Amino acid sequence: MDALATLLVVVPGFFVFGAALHWVFARFSISPFNSLLVTFGVTVIIESLIQWIWTADYRRLESHYGEIKFRVGTLFVPLPELLTLLVAIALALGTWAALRYTDLGKALRAAAEDAPIAAASASTSARWRSRCRACRPPSRAWPGPASPSAIRWRRPRSTPGSGWCSPRS
């Protein structure tokens, strides 16, 4: 099978695996630290399984386009490396644009910065707020954006280091 064609199988397969792993973490309320440990352990198991099946010896996968090279001045750029660079740039720019210009991206950035405040504020759109678990309140004790108790705005308790302390006079 062609090396680039395998990406059409491997990438969606690992996406489904990651989504299933995320569902298991959410289903059993695994803490972030424990999910990090479990994910690291699964990564080690997958790498060991891959090395057991295919060995750890270095092999070069030859393809018909692997010999194509472009000359840029005195530099020769092979086509596979150029394609890898272009795909990486496209993915990076696409991720940046999605996080910057979409409602989901704004909700994810707000939740990453301060999840409880993002959940309580109206800064995220109602459509994504209902779909995005990261924007939902972490417990039933915190008023969510759609709950009637969210209308009563209370100033959070000011504690040192929380960012809510007023400056000393």
Q: What is the pLDDT of residue 150?
A: 40
Q: What is the pLDDT of residues 32-41, one digit of tens each?
A: 899 999 999 9
Q: What is the pLDDT of residues 53-81, one digit of tens each?
A: 888 777 777 778 888 898 989 999 998 88
Q: What is the pLDDT of residue 122?
A: 55
133/99 Cα distance (integer angstroms): 16
Q: What is the pLDDT of residue 38?
A: 92
Question: Reduced to 3 states, what is the DSSP secondary structure of residue 47?
Answer: helix
Q: Are 124 and 102 in contact (CB under 8 A)?
A: no
Q: What is the pLDDT of residue 125?
A: 53
Q: Are 129 and 145 in contact (CB under 8 A)?
A: yes
Q: Are 137 and 144 in contact (CB under 8 A)?
A: yes
Mean pLDDT of the residues in the chain: 77
> Who has greater pLDDT, 97 or 145?
97
CA angle, corner 54, sides to 48 and 59, nearest 5?
120
The pTM (predicted TM-score) of the whole model is 0.53
Q: What is the pLDDT of residue 147?
A: 41
| pLDDT reading at 96 higher than 70 | yes
Q: Are 107 and 130 in contact (CB under 8 A)?
A: no
Name beta bridge partners: 69. Answer: 78
